Amino acid sequence: MPFTFKKLEIPEVVLIEPKVFADNRGFFMENYKYSEFADFGIKDNFVQDNHSKSVKGVLRGLHYQKLPKAQAKLVRCISGEFFDVAVDVRKGSPTFGKWVGEILSAENKKMLYVPIGFAHGFCVLSDEAEISYKSSDEYSPENEGAITWNDPTINISWSTKSPIVSEKDSQNKSLNEADNNFVYKK
């Protein structure tokens, strides 16, 4: 099996470590294989790939798309290093408002699976970083939602107190004020 799957403190969020075949020429790894992800319970059909590059201190997030265009994401680092975060925004969930975070880097090659019902964000730790992620639905501007990166009720331990945030993200609302239609189902 070329992947190791590890459920995090919020068990729906999964850290994935691919098997890397390295030698003096470089390396080879599989980024994604539906059959193995499905065997673990991740059965999303990823339909869009995104790629972004950011400089040190850039914080993007916390973003999600509302139903009916909600997205699960499979996030990985192509170059550099960033702190990747998922926040449970499912109303009624026992972990509502809780977060988990992992350092993803080109070196460790780990990936984070962020399911539907979670907001996602990251902060760049290296001089620059490139992020690639798959989404289970296409981007839909009319369904986008966001939460402020520094919401005190969530209290994420970011690596910086003064990140570089877009004008749009600087206007995000708190978890309790954000437009969100996710409801937890057991």
Catalytic residue, candidates 113, 133, 139, 184: 133
Catalytic residue, candidates 34, 51, 63, 113: 63
pLDDT at 2: 84
The token duo for 29 is: 């790894």
| Spatial distance between the Cα atoms of 4 and 40, rounded to a whole number of angstroms | 10
> Angle 46-85-180 (CA atoms, 0-180°, nearest 5)?
70
120 is catalytic: no
- Give 9: exposed, middle or buried? Use CB within 10 Å, 0-12, 13-18, 19+: exposed
Contacts with 53 (C-beta within 8 Å, 6 or more apart), sequence order: 128, 129, 130, 131
pLDDT at 186: 79
pLDDT at 161: 86
pLDDT at 1: 61
Contacts with 136 (C-beta within 8 Å, 6 or more apart), sequence order: 44, 45, 46, 47, 70, 71, 72, 73, 116
Residue ranges and CATH numbers for the domains of the chain are 3-171 (2.60.120.10)
Tens-digit pLDDT string for the chain (186 aa)? 689 999 999 999 999 999 999 999 999 999 999 999 999 999 999 999 999 999 999 999 999 999 999 999 999 999 999 999 999 999 999 999 999 999 999 999 999 999 999 999 999 999 999 999 999 999 999 999 999 999 999 999 998 889 999 999 999 999 999 999 999 987
Model pTM?
Answer: 0.95
51 is catalytic: no
